[in-house]
Structure 1
Amino acid sequence: MMQKTITFKNAKISFSDVGKGTAVVLIHGFLENSTMWNTIKPKLSKRNRVVTIDLLGHGKSDCLGYVHTIELFSEAIEAVLKHLKLRKYILVGHSLGGYVSLQLAKNNPSKIKGLCLLNSTSNEDSEERKKLRFRANKMIQSNFTNMVRMSFVNLFSEANRKTFKTEINAALQEALQTPIQGYMAANEGMRIRKNSSAVLVENSFKKLIITGKKDPVLDLETSLQEAKKTNTKIVFLNGGHMSHIENKEELITALKAFIKFC
């Protein structure tokens, strides 16, 4: 699939646009890029127009300074969607992509047909997690490969680390191509982000949380409480934080049903 680019604030933003029908915008997570959707995109683009975008400092998109705030990530995505003249769309954001999707929905509520948080949350980081991110940004400068390898592998449930060894390794190779500046800028952006549950509460577009029962990053009970508080439908899958690898078929089924529902 041919990647295209636009220029946003002198930075190159890379994206792909395939298929016809309802526009579905897929936004990847931290240390990922739009290749994470490669096995899902063909299934969704049979009946929909599917747009995938590399976030700033990830994949083939440039870095833009030393802090990529969630607002800045969102502005870059908006620039692509404006370029494509999309008037209404469904957002699916994985992890960091979910935080960006929430910001997009906050900025453009009338354009959103549906919002799916995939292994993601509208809550801000806990104090403990903020400290971890701060430490990681110090350590990453001298130990990039080991840090990325460790944090990446830890996203999978223990059993799945063996089951999906090949897929995990391929995804890890993509993660290792993230520039250090991209890692640090995104990590700081996530650390300082605010709670955005009001976006789910105050808007009438369709909403879905897809969560892994064994997600080591997002506690299942917290996700359940979030869904209840924000009146958002929740779907449980059996794996960890990387549903697109660990529960691919179930994820495709859930996404197709959600798109239809929107």
Structure 2
Amino acid sequence: MDYQTVSFKNIDIAYTEHGKGSALIMLHGFLENALMWQKITKDFSKRFRVIAIDLLGHGKTGCLGYMHSMEDMADAVFAVISELKLRKVTLIGHSMGGYVSLAFAELYPDRVKSMILINSTARPDNKERIENRNRAIELIKQNSATFVNMAINNLFSDEIRPFIQSEIKHTKQEALKTPVQGIIAALEGMKIRIDREVILHFAPYPIALILGNSDPVMPYTETAEQIQNTETVLFTLKGGHMLHIEAPQELSDSIQSFLKKI
């Protein structure tokens, strides 16, 4: 893929760009990068201007410091949007990319046309998840490869894992390219993120939440609960946390369906 870069606080933010039309900003999850969108980008670049960004410390984008808050990442996304002179954009965020989308929506509300959160939540980490992130940070300092292999395995349910071994292997290979500093900085940033559920209730633009019904990371019922009594559109797909791998066509169809209505 051909990457372009934007300078942001003395580091390069890398992104890819395909197609013409209204802008879709694709934001990957933890230990992923812009390549995660490859399977579905082709579907959208015929009608949209698709920009996939490597978030701080991931892919070809550099690290800023020991912690990358979701606000830091949102500012980096804004740097790309400003460089490309985009006025309003649709944010499509997977997992951590969803957290970044929500932070962006809070910081730059006038720049958001619509938002799609995939296997993500507006709620902050609970005490247990914070403790798990702290344990992960200690493990990474000792052996980052062991952590990455475990973390990627845990994103897939036991039922699906045997059928997508080559995809899991590729996901691990990409994840292992993430620098230790980038991994720790993202964990530190996710750990302190604030509750942004209010956006799901009061945002003046359309929002969709796409969830896998067997997500091993974010329990379906608990995650879907946050959009009760809101205008947020819910798509429930058969699959787990990595819908772009487990159900790419269904994910693409859900996004297309939502975009046609707005």
Letter in 2 for 1:21: G
Whether the 8 Å CA contact 1:148–1:175 is kept in 2: the answer is: yes
| Counterpart in the other structure of 2:235 | 235
Q: CA RMSD in A?
A: 0.9
TM-score by length of structure 2 reads 0.98
TM-score by length of structure 1 reads 0.98
2:222 is the counterpart of 1:222: yes
| Counterpart in the other structure of 1:250 | 250
Q: Secondary structure at the match of 1:39?
A: helix
| Counterpart in the other structure of 1:142 | 142
2:104 is the counterpart of 1:108: no
CA distance in 1, matches of 2:107, 2:26: 17
In the TM superposition, 1:1-262 aligns within 5 A as: 1-262=1-262
CA distance in 1, matches of 2:136, 2:155: 15
Letter in 2 for 1:224: A
CA distance in 2, matches of 1:251, 1:152: 20
CA distance in 2, matches of 1:101, 1:158: 29
CA distance in 2, matches of 1:206, 1:231: 8
**Runs of at least 5 residues in structure 2 that lack an aligned partner in the other structure:** none
Q: Secondary structure at the match of 2:99?
A: helix
- CA deviations on 1:219-254 (whole Å, 9 max, x unpaired) are 111122112144311111111100000011100000
Letter in 1 for 2:29: G
Letter in 1 for 2:20: K
- CA deviations on 1:31-63 (whole Å, 9 max, x unpaired) are 000000011111111111100000010000000
Higher deviation after alignment, 223-232 or 205-214: 223-232
Shift of 1:6: 1.0
Letter in 2 for 1:132: N
| 4+ residue segments displaced more than 6 Å | none
CA distance in 2, matches of 1:250, 1:96: 21
Letter in 2 for 1:94: H
- CA deviations on 1:81-117 (whole Å, 9 max, x unpaired) are 0000011111100000000000111122222111111
Identity, in percent, stands at 44
**Runs of at least 5 residues in structure 1 that lack an aligned partner in the other structure:** none
Whether the 8 Å CA contact 1:197–1:230 is kept in 2: the answer is: no
Whether the 8 Å CA contact 1:92–1:117 is kept in 2: the answer is: yes
CA distance in 1, matches of 2:243, 2:237: 7
Q: Secondary structure at the match of 2:49?
A: strand
Q: Secondary structure at the match of 2:228?
A: helix
